[in-house]
Structure 1
Amino acid sequence: MISFNIDNISNDLKQVLTDKINNKTKPLGALGMLETIALQVGLIQNSIQPQIKKPSIVVFAGDHGIAKKGEVNPFPQEVTAQMVLNFVNNGAAINVLCNSNNLELHIVDAGVNFEFSNNLIIDSKIALGTQNYEDQPAMTLAQCEEAIQKGAEIVRKIHTDGCNTIGFGEMGIGNTSSASLIMSSILNIPIEDCVGAGTGLSKPEISKKATILKSVIKKHNVTDPLDILHTYGGFEIAMICGAFLAAAELKMTILVDGFIVTAALLVAQKINSAVLDYCVFGHTSGEQGHQKMLSHLNATPILNIGLRLGEGTGAALAMPVIKASVNFLNEMASFSDANVSNN
């Protein structure tokens, strides 16, 4: 049984924080989303002087059974393992962005169809990829629950090491298909409204992908969140689900990335809706389904710059905005401090 003890954030300091924000040397509301974020982070930490400590990105990688056939993905399954090694070798976009913004990066093998021998990769492998959900559920319920718990354990370790602000990324050829199936099932909307280009499908290929996934949904017809996750998910998506829940339980500020990560959040908030109190949405993905997910969650993302790469890149790019929000709250002068008239 999956259970996380997540408290809704307290509003005890809401008025004090609001007054502090409003009394900075600026017109009311002039810092826009920085003010909203500063208030949220202050409430998450229950402090009028919140701090961003050891901000981190965790990238979970896993392979998908359906990707072996190559019908829904333009890149072969082997690219998952190759990209994990690229992360380790500091050569990917997420490496550049984490290095640029002084973020710690953790790489997790959740279930890649490859045996790594690199101690820079966190080995949490459940299996050598999932099964093909065209034929059977992607994973067993037991495997799904194990993945959720392993994702939670990884976050707890990172938190113990001093991190209080975290974002999640993913790598897995075929995982936009899993995310589309999860989205369609939880939001109860047609799969055609969820499917996008992924890593670069053409319009006819997108149509073919939607047709394949429509038959998958018809075959399984699941509605319970955990059933949806173990039937359609990847090990990396299940681990991100557990990571969300553990981070919220630990009262961490969580920066949400794009389409696949938000699909994991759709499941996590069905398990415990309080997780959303701790989420700041990094960006709007170029995947059409992500915008519908954000609308369903009443989320206002920080950035909208056409990203659809994954890897946690949107979260990494938005992290400086979180830092800036907290810094203005703590460091900007008030009207009385600066002897500036505010009326």
Structure 2
Amino acid sequence: MRQTDGQRNLHLTSLSPIWRPPAVAPLDPATEVILRAVIDGKAKPPGSLGRIEELAIQLGMIRHPGEPRGEKAVLLVFAGDHGLVAEGVSQYPSDVTVAMVMTYLAGRASANAFAKANGIDVRVIDIGVASELPVRPGLIDAKVRMGTANAAREPAMTPEQAADALNRGMRIAIGEIKAGADILALGEMGIGNTASSALLAHRLAPASLGDCIGIGAGQDDAGMNRKRAAIEMAAGRSDASAPLDVLAEFGGLEIAGMAGAVLGAALQRRPVIVDGFISSVAALLATRLCPEARGYCVFAHRSAERGHDLVLKALDAKPLLDLGLRLGEGTGALLAVPLVRAAARLLTDVASLDDVLAGRI
């Protein structure tokens, strides 16, 4: 997998600790009216393609004044570790994060299989894995630090590190788009990241903390008791509510990277497909930092993870699929890519009814 020079050298550059929201252009409501008329005039009964028509209009608004395209899609899998794992919030140790990163790079994870089935490139980004990873083709070194600190007992990271992770995710997304990506999809890997996501959802939605805590990768009753206790300890330690402060207090680095990627896609006027609970929390963070970014997000699926519905409600989002998925890795986003491609083709390839009736086909 090819990396740009900028991506290969991300780890060499220290970014400014001062973070300001990027100047994302909001989608133009006037364009929506024009595109809806175009879709209604296609050679089909108005509204007969349901939500695909709405998706086509969104894609047209994103790429306006150009035409939407979906040929090249890239999955960005951000990987990072969480100090909260020390509190027993996961049934798996942090070593699994490294093992799964190696599995992605070997092309043998579920995300790789789904990506191959749909002709999608995969990039794996080390933004905060708590181990030094060997140089491997397809691995982008964007490490901010060796995992986050234990958020139950201290801030997960400094505000400067949080800003750095956002900027690195944004730069990676921009680099992929400049290299030809029409669609970005988000994925993640990080043992313990449902705990961090629950804390972010609690503060940023906002929502009841208990309603944001789910089983993650799987927990028995004792494990859930440990997870709830650790998350409650973290929430009680800090009353942070501003988006960047919430990120710094509770983590994680892969969530920050995905949020930055949302902002990078929006800056370049490209759609970004958001996966499940953790990716949606990243999108929520991005939109709390920069509300204009919301229009560039396509929500792939409704996760079975508790808390996802609350995050979707906070984002006023209706996902495309509901398949009972809760794996992460971007698997749901990968399954949604063909729908996004089809919606783009509806705008660009389908004849108008007037042309059909006049014999101009």
Please give the secondary structure, in 2, of the residue aligned with 1:217.
helix
Taking the aligned partners of 1:135 and 1:127, their CA distance within structure 2 comes to: 18
Equivalent residue runs for 1:190-269 within 5 Å: 190-269=208-287
Q: 1:82 aligns with which of 80, 99, 105?
A: 99
Moved over 4 A (4+): none
Q: Alpha-carbon deviations, 1:263-294, whole Å to 9, x = none? A: 11221111110000111111111112001111
How far residue 113 of structure 1 moved from its aligned partner, in angstroms, is 1.4
Taking the aligned partners of 2:24 and 2:60, their CA distance within structure 1 comes to: 17
Residue 59 of structure 1: aligned partner = 77
- Does structure 1 residue 180 correspond to structure 2 residue 198? yes
Asked if the contact 1:61–1:108 (Cα under 8 Å) also holds between the matched residues in 2, the reply is yes
Taking the aligned partners of 1:15 and 1:111, their CA distance within structure 2 comes to: 43
Task: Report which stretch shifted further, 264-273 or 199-208.
Answer: 199-208
Q: Alpha-carbon deviations, 1:93-121, whole Å to 9, x = none? A: 11011111111111000111121112321
Taking the aligned partners of 1:329 and 1:143, their CA distance within structure 2 comes to: 42
How far residue 201 of structure 1 moved from its aligned partner, in angstroms, is 1.2
Taking the aligned partners of 1:247 and 1:48, their CA distance within structure 2 comes to: 16
Taking the aligned partners of 1:13 and 1:132, their CA distance within structure 2 comes to: 47
Please give the secondary structure, in 1, of the residue aligned with 2:307.
helix
How far residue 211 of structure 1 moved from its aligned partner, in angstroms, is 2.5
How far residue 48 of structure 1 moved from its aligned partner, in angstroms, is 6.9
CA spacing shift, 1:45–1:201, aligned 2, 3 Å: same
Residue 128 of structure 1: aligned partner = 146
Residue 167 of structure 1: aligned partner = 185
Task: Report which stretch shifted further, 76-85 or 18-27.
Answer: 18-27
% identical equivalent positions: 35
Asked if the contact 2:71–2:341 (Cα under 8 Å) also holds between the matched residues in 1, the reply is no
How far residue 296 of structure 1 moved from its aligned partner, in angstroms, is 1.5
Asked if the contact 2:84–2:230 (Cα under 8 Å) also holds between the matched residues in 1, the reply is no
Q: Which amino acid aligns with 1:249?
A: L
Q: Which amino acid aligns with 2:107?
A: N
Q: Which amino acid aligns with 1:75?
A: Y
Taking the aligned partners of 2:234 and 2:31, their CA distance within structure 1 comes to: 48
Q: 1:319 aligns with which of 337, 341, 349?
A: 337
Residue 165 of structure 2: aligned partner = 147
Q: Structure 1-normalised TM-score? A: 0.95
Taking the aligned partners of 2:346 and 2:151, their CA distance within structure 1 comes to: 48
Aligned residues: 340
Q: 1:102 aligns with which of 103, 119, 133?
A: 119
Q: Structure 2-normalised TM-score? A: 0.91
Taking the aligned partners of 2:110 and 2:211, their CA distance within structure 1 comes to: 28
Residue 354 of structure 2: aligned partner = 336
Taking the aligned partners of 2:317 and 2:350, their CA distance within structure 1 comes to: 27
Taking the aligned partners of 2:84 and 2:313, their CA distance within structure 1 comes to: 29
Residue 306 of structure 1: aligned partner = 324
Please give the secondary structure, in 2, of the residue aligned with 1:333.
coil
Unaligned residue ranges in structure 2 (runs of 5+): 1-17
Residue 58 of structure 2: aligned partner = 40
Task: Report which stretch shifted further, 320-329 or 50-59.
Answer: 50-59
Taking the aligned partners of 2:130 and 2:314, their CA distance within structure 1 comes to: 34
Taking the aligned partners of 1:153 and 1:259, their CA distance within structure 2 comes to: 23
How far residue 215 of structure 1 moved from its aligned partner, in angstroms, is 1.8
How far residue 205 of structure 1 moved from its aligned partner, in angstroms, is 2.8
How far residue 194 of structure 1 moved from its aligned partner, in angstroms, is 0.3
Q: Alpha-carbon deviations, 1:46-104, whole Å to 9, x = none? A: 147322242111000001112134x1101111000000000000000110111111111
Residue 129 of structure 2: aligned partner = 112
How far residue 164 of structure 1 moved from its aligned partner, in angstroms, is 2.7
Taking the aligned partners of 1:203 and 1:308, their CA distance within structure 2 comes to: 19
Asked if the contact 1:68–1:77 (Cα under 8 Å) also holds between the matched residues in 2, the reply is no
Unaligned residue ranges in structure 1 (runs of 5+): none
